[in-house]
Structure 1
Amino acid sequence: MTVEKTGLKAAAAIGTLAIALAACGGGGKGGSSDEGTPQKGGTLKIAGSSVPDHIDPASAYSTVNQGFSRNWALTLFTNKASNNFNETIPNYPDAAAELPTKENGGISADGKTYTIKLRDGLKWNTNPVRPVTAADFVRGLKRTCNPASPAGAPYYTDLITGMADFCKGYGKVDAKSAKAMGDYQESHDISGYVAKDDKTLVVTLKQPAGDFLNIIGMSFASAAPKEYDNYVPDSPEFRQHTVSDGPYQMTSYSDKKFILERNANWDAASDKLRKAYVDRIEVDLGQDSPDQVQQQLEQGTADLAWDQPVPTSAIPRLAQAKDKRFSLQDNPGVNPYIVFNTLSPNNKGALGKKEVRQAIEYAIDKVAIAKNYGGINVAQPVRSAVAPGNVGYDANYNPYPTNNDSGDPAKCKQMLSAAGYANGLTLKFPYRTNSNHPRNAQSIQANLQACGITVQMSPDTNGNFYGTTLVTPADAKAGKWDIAAPGWGPDWYGNNGRSGLQPLFDGRMYGPNSPDYGGYNNDQVNKLIDQANQAQTQADAQTAWAQVNKLVMDDAAIVPLITQKYSTYTSARIHNTLFLPAFQTYDYSLVWLAKK
């Protein structure tokens, strides 16, 4: 759920980003504070809409998934939760003993080889208990390109020597056979990702990458125990047999509710980032109404929202009351946006034509979408594929201007006619049923109707939307959908050009679970992405990613809608809520509950 910092200090990158954020409105503070003495015990109750698109860390890519998995699937490196946005940007060692640098010998002089040591105290909650090893991390990375439920992130095959060849062969394995997949993993190696011994990983890259610690720190690359080879990745059977090396373990799972309980094998003394104050975490799902969830939070029958911001209707009341349990958190991304299925055969392949997509760019009233989230203090119209606060953003760039960003249906209709579609189009539009998405869909439908486009809407759960509807190439090619309104935030902040643009627009990576949902592909864009990934200074990276952004927008690959702060609310009994912007959630392992 992303600019080269090579040769620059992290602080410089953070300062640049902070300036950009200040320009776009900047920083919400947290909800509850850490006042008082932390207390252990109790059950953290979380209420929300839909089951995650994936549970398996090898394929889990939504924000809620990545934030959830850090409680039971540790990564080599991670970010620190904080209500100061800038503090969330640097990398910290997690399962690793330290951050590798050239000075400590962890990074080679040419920047292509990383030697990563594991810290002491890492253990699986298996019977008998056994340590987490470097081989477990190798297994975890291998699982990212399993044919049953692969990761949508292209970073590993792009960077790690031998990974692309390993994955190419893995893709030919029977996706329904756990044994066949396990056998392939055991009999094939990734030449650039090796367990030197039980506590040492050696990683060889094709080229230097200043953002590699962010990449290898994603949940996809978390360790995987050998037990996972017994199940088809992310299958119902897998979801009933997860294994933990973090502070919590999943003890119950269904599509309506799942439960995490304390992992007795977790070594608190060796984990510098988590506290695990609560004994139990319960996630109750199936509540699509944000108002219903908000009511539970205010009444104290739930503590946190799972996958929904504060309902728009409640924001003015909470802000006017200066309710300390309400906050607006920095979370700069393009969320939501309209994506085109460029592979759809519907309307004689109209959405595959740039001129048609450019016409639709003018149709949308972005101010109306922003109002669905609470107005200008919460959400702002965005005019390109890069939001303020991210590398490649240009405040003066506005390729499809309309009066006050409110749309121009007449210009849309004129351009559509010039493209050969004077009689309009009929588009299939699956929309998410949670949060503000139904209102967004109705607004988009009305805008397109004014342009002469008929929109056939169909409801979809959040989990199915990201887990099946948008990420199944056969469905895209069959025209089961034409437009959709997903959201995208960079997988990390700071040096994040590779995370913000490449996943959405690098057509070479299109396939199952790819976030390039509509199969967009432009050889020139792909070439510019490669150049941007190799930029050696922040200034060069900014220029390179801005070029990618402009070419993508000239192609009208997406219609960017808004960038928004993430609104949160907590129960009265919860303390120490510290935010993880890339995951749009608080760190569950740090909250504690006041006893009644």
Structure 2
Amino acid sequence: MAGEARRATAGLLGLAMGLTGCGGGGGDSEGTNAGPPRDGGTLRIIGSSDVDHLDTASANSTGAHGLNRTYARTLFGTRASNEFKETVPVQADVAARVPSKENGGISKDGRTYTIKLREGVRWNTRPPRPVVAADFVRGIERLCNPASPAGGLAYYVSTIRGMDGYCRGFAKVNAKDADTIAAYQNKHAIPGVQAKGDDTLVFKLRRPASDFLNLLTLQFTAAAPKEYDAYVPDSPEFRQHTISNGPYQITSYKPGLSYVLSHNPAWRQETDPLRERHVEKIQLTLGQDSPDTVQQQLEQGTADLSWDQPVPVTAISRLRGSQDDRFAIRDTPSSSPYLVFNTRGRTGGGALARREVRQALQYAVDRTTLIKIVGGPEVAEPLHTIIPPGNAGHFASNRYATPGESGDPVRCRLLLAKAGAPKDLTLKFPYRVQGTHKRIAESIKESLGACGVKAELIPDTGGNYYGKTLADPAKARDGVWDIAAPGWTPDWYGNNGRSLIQPLFDGRTYGPNSTNFGGYDNPQVNALIDSALTASDQGRAAGYWQLADQKIMEDAAVIPLLNRALPIFRSARVRGARYLPTATGYDYTRLWLAS
């Protein structure tokens, strides 16, 4: 979940708009036709679970991205908009401009990027002080800290010169000692990341990377103040001491319960081209596990936005039928959800490590029921490839077709028997409790049952699902889970084949906080990733991403399920609501509240 690309072709954008167009609601669905913005008031957001990680170095969920955006700035970013194509181009944030070969910011060989910082950006320290190039160097260095490394670490290790060696050394440091972690950072340097004075950064790449600016839009690369050296990354102590250079600052955080954000007095509008600041406070209240209860509060006006609960399926047709201008369906080309197999576990004698077993299970899933669960064909369509429509490298394919998208349990049973799968195969299946996740899990359980496979459903609450369950290799090895149904929204759109393939399937980076949850590792796929990353242009890169997609599906590493848009609702008093696809929500910094 994070940035976007500099340019997207017309064909790519056409694909992206294919599912829902600008659908949803009626009239002024953005709430922007009520005059100039009004400052003041408290934006009330309600939802279920806390973020997986709050530290920008490791934050890797769409909710965390939307929250990070309010207080942690990156060199580049993207602009929120209700027109999908307007959210794609890379924009300057703390950088003074977008570098190019034409303006001298990118060397002729594409391996050196020189980035000047914008003047006037300040931390909310006492007294306030400027954000300098060294703060961005620190942000990059923190990505492979041993306590809470970045889920997108592979992006940077495979791109920035010397970062692989730096990270190998960092992995040996005591993960529980803040002083030791800080000492390693301060005594070692990444050769490819250099501060030239306070206002200039120089990045040197291992090879040209056409998507490097996209990588610098991701929250992983946010500037990090020197005060962060005092804390173990993303520890409870760190979470109580975040520092802001954005329009808001976290003034109260009760883990699993609530956040309060207020104005950052050091922020100035003229230094920030991507954000605004209108509401006085942002109040985020957690623990609301019922989407119906959340929706009721939004419609009654006792809350303004949902944090992580989708519009209930039962409400979608009513809201569309009434042309309610508070409701919209926003384009968010994604794989949401997909079914991932734990290939490192020992369940059934290591059954899921065998390709033939995983291939058999591809025929189990009834996608028509899943589409009904999430809101019908206006919200979702069947997905059969790793890369969804609207993303670079997508191609139409259905290797494991079933009649009417409803599954083929007879074929599934025959192939399982042929593969020698245990007749009593039982798979542990953790699921998220909010939204439609429970019903999705129950449907998949029923589909697997028709194939003779039992699924043991395990509710996973409190923000543990990604950070503490799926992204912990020890839990995979110990068989805490066998299958799961996470979702994946690309970290950026446009030239983004890397963001669909590398973080989920590069076996060389499997480890703590990796988003390759199932531990899939195929040297052929790894080689295709390298070929795509070194391709001479975006078209060639897309071809390699397609080949990687085909190989991953041949191996049946996961079961793609749905390409899904987002039904979203705002209270009647929310105005200026502009959508961030990579955060699957409205940009909190740009909306305002009617009196």
Report TM bin, short chain. over 0.9
User: Could you tell me whether the CA contact under 8 Å between 2:81 and 2:579 is conserved in 1?
Assistant: yes
| Partner SS state of residue 542, structure 1 | helix
Letter in 2 for 1:327: A
Residue of structure 1 equivalent to 2:509: 509
Separation in 1 of the partners of 2:109 and 2:421? 54
| Partner SS state of residue 159, structure 1 | coil
User: Could you tell me whether the CA contact under 8 Å between 1:528 and 1:548 is conserved in 2?
Assistant: yes
Residue of structure 2 equivalent to 1:375: 376
Residue of structure 1 equivalent to 2:233: 233
Separation in 2 of the partners of 1:534 and 1:318? 47
User: Could you tell me whether the CA contact under 8 Å between 1:3 and 1:494 is conserved in 2?
Assistant: no
Residue of structure 1 equivalent to 2:85: 86
Give the alignment's TM-score, normalised by structure 1.
Answer: 0.97
Residue of structure 2 equivalent to 1:279: 280
Residue of structure 2 equivalent to 1:33: 31
User: Could you tell me whether the CA contact under 8 Å between 1:391 and 1:495 is conserved in 2?
Assistant: yes
| Partner SS state of residue 296, structure 1 | helix
Shift of 1:3: 14
1:99 equivalent in alignment to 2:98: yes
Give 1:476-495 correspondences, 5 Å limit.
Answer: 476-495=476-495
Separation in 1 of the partners of 2:133 and 2:52? 28
Shift of 1:28: 3.2
Separation in 2 of the partners of 1:365 and 1:439? 13
Residue of structure 2 equivalent to 1:247: 247
Q: Deviations over 1:174-217 (max 9, x none)?
A: 00000000111110011100001101000000011111111012
Residue of structure 2 equivalent to 1:531: 531
Q: Deviations over 1:442-501 (max 9, x none)?
A: 001111011000111110026100110001111101111100000011100000001011
Separation in 2 of the partners of 1:4 and 1:389? 12
Shift of 1:4: 12
Residue of structure 1 equivalent to 2:449: 449
Q: Deviations over 1:365-387 (max 9, x none)?
A: 01111111111111111111111
Residue of structure 2 equivalent to 1:152: 151
Shift of 1:304: 0.6
Shift of 1:323: 0.4
| Partner SS state of residue 318, structure 2 | helix
| Comparing 139-148 and 25-34, the one that deviates more | 25-34
Separation in 1 of the partners of 2:74 and 2:446? 44
Tell me the percent identity.
53
Letter in 2 for 1:17: L
| Partner SS state of residue 75, structure 1 | coil
Separation in 2 of the partners of 1:145 and 1:22? 36
User: Could you tell me whether the CA contact under 8 Å between 2:2 and 2:65 is conserved in 1?
Assistant: no
Separation in 2 of the partners of 1:563 and 1:4? 18
User: Could you tell me whether the CA contact under 8 Å between 1:257 and 1:282 is conserved in 2?
Assistant: yes
1:71 equivalent in alignment to 2:70: yes
Q: Deviations over 1:68-105 (max 9, x none)?
A: 10110000000000000000000000010000111111
Residue of structure 1 equivalent to 2:427: 427
Count of residues in correspondence between the two structures: 589
* Counterparts in 2 of 1:4 and 1:222: CA distance versus 1, 3 Å: closer
| Partner SS state of residue 372, structure 1 | helix
Residue of structure 2 equivalent to 1:553: 553
Letter in 2 for 1:358: Q
Letter in 1 for 2:247: P
Shift of 1:424: 4.0
Letter in 1 for 2:260: I
Separation in 1 of the partners of 2:572 and 2:46? 15
* Counterparts in 2 of 1:136 and 1:422: CA distance versus 1, 3 Å: closer
- Structure 1 runs of 4+ aligned residues shifted over 6 Å read 2-5
Residue of structure 2 equivalent to 1:54: 53
Q: Deviations over 1:151-186 (max 9, x none)?
A: 011111110011111111111100000000011111
Unaligned stretches of 5+ residues in structure 1: none
Unaligned stretches of 5+ residues in structure 2: none
User: Could you tell me whether the CA contact under 8 Å between 1:24 and 1:389 is conserved in 2?
Assistant: no
1:199 equivalent in alignment to 2:230: no
| Comparing 320-329 and 266-275, the one that deviates more | 266-275
Separation in 2 of the partners of 1:279 and 1:4? 29
User: Could you tell me whether the CA contact under 8 Å between 2:114 and 2:202 is conserved in 1?
Assistant: yes
Separation in 2 of the partners of 1:511 and 1:532? 23
| Partner SS state of residue 158, structure 2 | helix
Separation in 1 of the partners of 2:349 and 2:404? 33
Shift of 1:26: 2.9
Separation in 2 of the partners of 1:181 and 1:504? 27
Separation in 1 of the partners of 2:438 and 2:155? 33
User: Could you tell me whether the CA contact under 8 Å between 2:19 and 2:565 is conserved in 1?
Assistant: no
1:14 equivalent in alignment to 2:15: no
Separation in 2 of the partners of 1:449 and 1:25? 33
| Comparing 182-191 and 383-392, the one that deviates more | 383-392
Q: Deviations over 1:502-530 (max 9, x none)?
A: 11010001000000001000000000111
Residue of structure 2 equivalent to 1:129: 128
Residue of structure 2 equivalent to 1:334: 335
